Amino acid sequence: MKNQLMTHTNHSVLKSVQPIIEVKPDLSRVAELTETNREETMKFLAVRPVHTVVMTSFINDNGLQSELNRGKFYGYRNSKGELEGIALIGHSTLVEARSDEALKAFAHKARTSETPIHLIMSHGTAAATFWNHYSDGLTQPRLTCVERLFEVSFPFMVPSTSGSELRLATLDELIPVAEAQAEVAFMECGVDPMVKDREGFLKRVARRIEQGRVFVKFDGDKMVFKADIIAETDQTIYLEGVYVAPEFRGRGIGSACLADLTIRLLDRVENVCMLSNVDFTAAHKSYFKAGYKATGDCTTLFV
C-alpha cells in the first residue's frame, strides 16, 4: 500500500530475534465478524479514523464477509464481551488492537489463515510485536518497511495547480495504469504483481478504475502521473500508488497534480492521507510541496 515518485528503494529487515516462550492466548475470545456485527465494528474503527480507514473502506465497499477483502475480519472481546481489537487477517493483514492480549490473540489466529498472508501492517511498532507472536520469534519477515504517514486537511498552504490536467482514468487505459502500479509495488516489496498474478491484478485495477478512484495525467499517449484512492470513508481518503513517469520527474509535475487532487478530495472528506517508505526522501519533498505534513510512522512487514 505505497507511494513512490522516484526510482530508488531501500528496505531493512528486523534485527535478529530470540525464540520466545509465551502462554497461548485464549482464542475463544476471537471470532469472525459478520454483518450482524457491523454497527459495533464501525463504531470501534471510527475512534481512530485515519489509522483504520482501509478496514472501514473495505467494509463499506465489500461488506464484512466478502472474497474481495482477500481475508476475514475478526474481533477480540474482553471478559466483559466488549471489543478490544479488530483485524483483517489475509493477504493484507491489518490490525487495530487496543490491548496486548488482543494483538497476541490475532497473531496466533493468523497462523491458521486460509488466505496466504502477504503483508502485515499496523501503527507504530505493533506489526513487529504481532510478527514475534505469530512466528514465536523463530523467523524474520522477508522485508520490513518503516513508513511515514502524511496527512493534509484544511486549512493548508495550497501551491499552484495550474495546468495539472488531472482526470479520472478510463478502462481503455487499464494497461498503463496497471504497469505503473506494478512498478510502484515492485519498488516497495520486490514483487511484480503483473508477473505473480496478472489476471487477478488487472481485475483489481479495473475495478478501481470503474469505481472512479484512479486519477491520471497524460501527455499525448504517455501517462505522466497517477494516484489511486485505495480507501474512502465519510471522514478520510487514503491514497496510494502515487507515480510520476521517470522522464517527467524533477519538474514539479508530481506536486502540482497531487495538490490539485488533494484540493478536490477535501471537498468530500475532512482528511487525506497516505503512507510512504521513510527512505523515499525525494518523493517526500514533493508531498511537502503539495501541502502534506508528516504526522507519524507505521511498520509494514512483507511475509
Residuewise pLDDT in 10s, the chain (303 residues): 556 443 233 334 444 455 666 789 999 999 999 999 999 999 999 999 999 999 999 999 999 999 999 999 999 999 999 999 999 999 999 999 999 999 999 999 999 999 999 999 988 889 999 999 999 988 999 999 999 999 999 887 766 666 678 999 999 999 999 999 999 999 989 999 999 999 999 999 999 999 999 999 999 999 999 999 999 999 999 999 999 999 999 999 999 999 999 999 999 999 999 999 999 999 999 999 999 999 999 999 999
Q: Domain 27-139: which CATH class?
A: alpha beta
- 70: DSSP letter: T
Question: Which pLDDT score, from 0 to 100, does residue 155 have?
Answer: 86
**72 φ/ψ angles, rounded to the nearest 5 degrees:** -125, 145
Cα 161 from Cα 260, distance rounded (Å): 5
Domain boundaries for CATH 3.40.630.30 within the chain:
27-139, 150-295
Domain 150-295 superfamily per CATH:
Gcn5-related N-acetyltransferase (GNAT) (3.40.630.30)
**166 φ/ψ angles, rounded to the nearest 5 degrees:** -80, 140
Residue 169, amino acid: A
Strands 30-32 and 271-277: unpaired
pTM, rounded to two decimals: 0.88
Cα 34 from Cα 259, distance rounded (Å): 38
- DSSP-based three-state secondary structure for 216: strand
Question: Which pLDDT score, from 0 to 100, does residue 7 have?
Answer: 29
Question: Which pLDDT score, from 0 to 100, does residue 137 have?
Answer: 81
Q: Tally Cβ neighbours within 10 Å of residue 83.
A: 19
Cα 292 from Cα 78, distance rounded (Å): 38
Q: Which sign, positive or negative, has the C-alpha torsion 15, 19, 23, 28?
A: positive
For residues 276 and 4, the answer to whether their CB atoms sit within 8 Å is yes
Cα 5 from Cα 150, distance rounded (Å): 14
Whose cell is 523515499? That residue is: 280
Q: Terminus-to-terminus CA distance in the chain, angstroms?
A: 14
Q: How far is CA 9 from CA 40, 96, 142, 282, in A?
A: 40, 28, 15, 11
Question: In the structure grid, which three cell numbers stand for residue 272, read together?
Answer: 487525506
